[in-house]
Amino acid sequence: MPGGKFIYYANYSSAIGPLTLAATDNGICSLQFGETKNMLPIINAWIRKQNICGKLIEDKAALNEAMVQLEEYFTHKRKIFDLHLDLYGTPFQKLVWEALQHIPYGETRSYKQIAADIGAPKAVRAIGSANNKNPLPIFLPCHRVIGSNGNMVGYGGGLDKKMYLLQVEGALEKISS
């Protein structure tokens, strides 16, 4: 079974609201929008589904660097995250998530553009599905993916959070103009 002995988690009070972070010894594996008490059942279910072996323990220190980088992001001091990620997903999902990391801060791409970028131009809906399964929103910036017509569509944290993140990056103004 993948993973380590422990899965560390911590709550982080961010500018966008409470976030629950989780990590294995290999890196950050989950970011959930919401208070830890509400997110632990979701994280537990995700851990079981991914067949990750380990006990959940609260440990803010283990997630400190991720929280520092998020704070820097929200205060416009960081545009690129430099963290070890421990990704669990299908090969296709991982391909999409890798493509997300190539969308520059402050820019957006359409689902159609991402599909073309990964060499699967007919997989537009599958791109949306992979984004929906993204375990690390913000770190893997699926908020930067919009509809071909420029419309805000689909975001696991809600469209209000997607718009907020794009506003933080200065991308919302570019879409509106």
Provide block-wise average pLDDT over 10 residues at a time, the chain (177 residues): 74 96 94 87 83 86 97 97 96 97 96 96 94 96 91 84 94 70
Q: Is the dihedral angle over the CA atoms 15, 20, 24, 25 positive or is it negative?
A: positive
**pLDDT value of residue 48:** 82
| DSSP line for 37-73 | HHHHHHHHHHHHHTT---EEEE-GGGGHHHHHHHHHH
142 is catalytic: yes
Please state, in angstroms and as integers, the Cα–Cα distance from residue 21 to each residue in 7, 74, 111, 113, following that order: 10, 16, 26, 29
Catalytic residue among 142, 145, 146, 172: 142
Predicted TM-score of the model (pTM)? 0.91
Domains for the chain: give ranges and CATH numbers: 6-75 (3.30.160.70), 91-176 (1.10.10.10)
